Amino acid sequence: MNGIIKLFAYKIYKHTDKYNKDKHDKDEWREVLEYIVYRIMTFTLLITMLVILSNLFTIDNDIYVFTISFLILKRKFGGMHLESEVGCFILSLIFPLIVYFLFKNTHTQSEILIIMSITSAFMLAKIGTVDNVVRKLKKEHKLKLQKQGIIVLIIMLSINLYTNNQFISLALIFTVINCLIGKIQYIKKIAGHEKK
């Protein structure tokens, strides 16, 4: 898969290099492209696998509501990170299925859903974008993600107030939990480096 990513990234690089001379050096721009290609490929593969599993187990569209909401929030706020890319992909595939089957028959009152969603959104806004154990974000990039994250929260809350979909609320709640785990992971990593 690594070879395919590099090949696609190189083809894009050849066509875009002249537009990025002022913003990135060659190696940095190639890394950015490889990351973008990797993200697109894994997201496409994840959704494809979910579609196949949804058809096999007759799962309704709530699985996509949760998965897409959670992935967008995770992209903006960060959180727990696994060192293995394969492990990360498998968890990203299994986790939405677990949440779906655990909560599909749960019917929460709309008022409670709204309170849970608003509380989770405020907590995410307060926590902000979390550094992960693989790389520390630059301050400007972190602020940019936080601003984008606030916009995403407003959009999701607005949709949820209108649709009352518990899987949007669950995406918000699990993103808070994910961010807290990510924060603990990062603190432990820093503490481990200080001991050395």
Residue 134: domain span: 59-194
- Position 106 in a domain: yes
Tell me the C-alpha distance between 141 and 147, whole Å: 10
Percent of the chain residues topping a pLDDT of 90: 46
User: Measuring CA to CA, which residue among 101, 47, 68 is closest to residue 171?
Assistant: 68
What value does the mean pLDDT take over residues 98-104? 94
Tell me the C-alpha distance between 28 and 115, whole Å: 43
Tell me the C-alpha distance between 13 and 30, whole Å: 6
How many structural domains does the chain have? 1
- Position 30 in a domain: no
Average pLDDT, the chain: 83
CA–centroid distance for 98 within its chain: 17
- Position 49 in a domain: no
What value does the mean pLDDT take over residues 83-111? 89
When pLDDT is cut at 50, 70 and 90, the band that residue 85 belongs to is: confident
Tell me the C-alpha distance between 34 and 168, whole Å: 31
Could you read off the pLDDT of 9-27 as tens digits, one per residue? 555 545 555 545 555 556 6
- Position 25 in a domain: no
Token pair of 44 as six digits: 């496409």
Tell me the C-alpha distance between 146 and 125, whole Å: 8
- Position 121 in a domain: yes
- Position 14 in a domain: no
- Position 8 in a domain: no
Positive or negative CA dihedral for 99, 104, 107, 109? positive
User: Measuring CA to CA, which residue among 103, 90, 91 is closest to residue 63?
Assistant: 103
Look at residue 98 and tell me whether its pLDDT is greater than 70.
Answer: yes
Tell me the C-alpha distance between 78 and 131, whole Å: 7
Look at residue 112 and tell me whether its pLDDT is greater than 60.
Answer: yes
- Position 181 in a domain: yes
Look at residue 83 and tell me whether its pLDDT is greater than 80.
Answer: no
